[in-house]
Structure 1
């Protein structure tokens, strides 16, 4: 799973071991269990710490460092989403903002800038929505996710009652060049 999310395979295996482990593990235990070199485990742990996906623990009477994954899967999701945002989304938004500050000189540049503005506005809207979701208690967020397509049906019903649905469908048909 980790390699599909852009995480090194070794790091993914280290995290998987920590995630399923009932007890905190030290680097030597991880190296033995996974058949990795101690240095590979150390590098993997540093990366996982940089992502804030593991916690360092010290056990009484033991000088070694132990590591564990957070127990709460919702916390893991929040950390992953926050780190992805910081590493990927925010630099993209920054680049788009910079590009939008440039005055276009011709139609091709105006078109390109309009497309970049659409992307910027969509990402901004998604990040605002994400910020609101992050504020929810896990139980509330799970209920919201369970609603799924029911929300769409409620919005369609609202549109039908207010007439907004007909206007939107007419606009979509006009954009597609189709008629009734």
Structure 2
């Protein structure tokens, strides 16, 4: 048993509440509830768990646990780890919150954003067709510019060390003030100072 299990073999109330709430949130994020609950259990576990351990602790069918673990492995949110003297697969969760967020962002980009980018780029191949109205052409160019800018920003940000991004995030509204200053400088050709 893991340390997150009490003497009776049950999850402590705080852990159970977290697992249940994370499962509910998973549904809001478009993730199966079981997948999210398994990730939450592994996230709070202090040692690797087998599929059997997970099934027992969460009261889930073994097949459901196996399918959910496959999905979490595909997202790279859990990993298989060897345990000396045990031939079964054991699993641990990614516990670095920044890595979790990065992996989810990358996965969502590949599944949701990249197909949209491809569709807009394919449409742009025919944007100069004289049968397309100027309004439609302008909208296609606007979408194309927007996705290229966002994709370029994403590709830059994914390579920035997490500590630097966290410093930027902590600056909060100060960044907006800096952008206002930079905007005035760019518009006038000289700074305010």
Q: In the alignment, is residue 116 of structure 1 matched against residue 140 of structure 2? A: yes
Deviation at 1:161, TM superposition (A): 5.1
Task: Choose the corresponding residue for 2:160, options 129, 136, 139.
Answer: 136
Q: In the alignment, is residue 127 of structure 1 matched against residue 151 of structure 2? A: yes
Task: Choose the corresponding residue for 2:102, options 73, 78, 81.
Answer: 78
1:119–1:162 CA distance, 2 compared to 1 (3 A)? closer
1:80–1:104 CA distance, 2 compared to 1 (3 A)? farther
Q: Which residue pairs with 2:4 in the alignment? A: none
What is the total number of aligned residue pairs between the two structures? 163
Q: In the alignment, is residue 100 of structure 1 matched against residue 124 of structure 2? A: yes
1:13–1:97 CA distance, 2 compared to 1 (3 A)? same
TM-score by length of 1: 0.83
Q: Report matched runs for 1:16-165 at 5 Å.
A: 16-102=40-126, 103-107=129-133, 110-160=134-184, 164=188
CA distance in 2, matches of 1:10, 1:104: 52
Contact 1:99 1:113 in 2 (8 A): no
1:105–1:19 CA distance, 2 compared to 1 (3 A)? same
1:68–1:162 CA distance, 2 compared to 1 (3 A)? closer
Q: Which moved more, 1:91-100 or 1:131-140?
A: 131-140
Which digits, 9 at most, give the CA deviation of each residue in 1:81-137, with x for residues without a partner?
A: 111111111111001111111225142xx4233223322321221121122211111
TM-score by length of 2: 0.78
CA distance in 2, matches of 1:152, 1:8: 37
RMSD over aligned CA atoms reads 1.8
Which digits, 9 at most, give the CA deviation of each residue in 1:121-178, with x for residues without a partner?
A: 21221121122211111111100111222122122234445654xxxxxxxxxxxxxx
Contiguous gaps of at least 5 residues in structure 1: 165-180
Contiguous gaps of at least 5 residues in structure 2: 1-24, 189-193
CA distance in 1, matches of 2:136, 2:178: 36
Which protein has the bigger helix share?
A: 1
